Amino acid sequence: MGKFDLYKIDLKGMKEDVQEREYLLDNQFFINIEGEDIQKGKVKVLLTITKLNRSYNFDFQLNGTVVITCDRCLDDMDFPIETTARLIVKFGKDYSEESEDIVIIPEKEGIINIAWFLYEFAVLAIPIKRVHAPGKCNKQMSSKLKKHLAQSPDDEDVFDSDNTPDGDIIVIDDDSEETIDPRWEALKEIKEIRE
């Protein structure tokens, strides 16, 4: 039995018009899939397959926790996943992905393997910016980052408090009062001419 045989679905052999399946994406699943974003986790998946004329709606519900790397301190952190997704599967001559949610599978085979789709749905539920909550980053790494971060003495500790709208780090250049990009300066002159 192959690593992902459990995730193969025989649509031609489907007896009922609506079918439910449950999966558990555990550490072994994430190791086997060899994706870069998630290496560990425990995510429960509820899949509802609805047969239509010549297509199938796959409705996914994913709930659980994955382990990802903090972009700031590089330590692992648990991130809760709670998301839904839909995939429309149709029969055709060859396998193809018409769009991000429509897949064509060969009618002769009538089988789809959803393992990679499950992984993608979990990854898409993770935000682009992946950082610990304020004050939760690795203290040793935070102190090294602070040492190399250019900031004024009046700034608060950006690693221990959420003092910016999205928790972004603000880098302040102490060497100049205000540096203006020359392109903006040229636009400013054009604006002044028109006024």
pLDDT string in tens for the chain (195-residue length)? 578 999 999 998 888 889 999 999 999 999 999 988 998 999 999 999 999 888 999 999 999 999 999 888 888 999 999 999 999 999 988 998 888 899 999 988 889 999 999 999 999 999 998 888 887 887 777 777 777 765 544 444 444 444 434 444 434 444 445 666 777 777 777 777 776
Residues 159 and 135 sit within 8 Å (Cβ to Cβ): yes
Report the pLDDT value the prediction gives residue 1, as an integer from 0 to 100.
56
Token pair of 49 as six digits: 């397959």
What are the φ and ψ backbone dihedral angles of 140, each rounded to 5 degrees?
Answer: -65, -45
What number of other Cβ atoms are within 10 A of residue 4's Cβ? 15
The partner residues of 78 in beta bridges, in order of sequence, read 67
3-state secondary structure of 124: helix
What are the φ and ψ backbone dihedral angles of 151, each rounded to 5 degrees?
Answer: -150, 155
The continuous run of DSSP H or E covering 148 comes out as helix 139-148
3-state secondary structure of 163: coil
Residues 37 and 17 sit within 8 Å (Cβ to Cβ): no
Token pair of 120 as six digits: 């993608």
Phi-psi region of 87 (alpha: psi -120 to 50; beta: other; left: phi over 0): beta
Report the pLDDT value the prediction gives residue 111, as an integer from 0 to 100.
92
- What is this structure's pTM? 0.70
**Distance in angstroms (rounded) separating the CA atoms of residues 129 and 46:** 27
Token pair of 20 as six digits: 């439910």
What number of other Cβ atoms are within 10 A of residue 71's Cβ? 13
**Distance in angstroms (rounded) separating the CA atoms of residues 164 and 185:** 27
Report the pLDDT value the prediction gives residue 158, as an integer from 0 to 100.
47
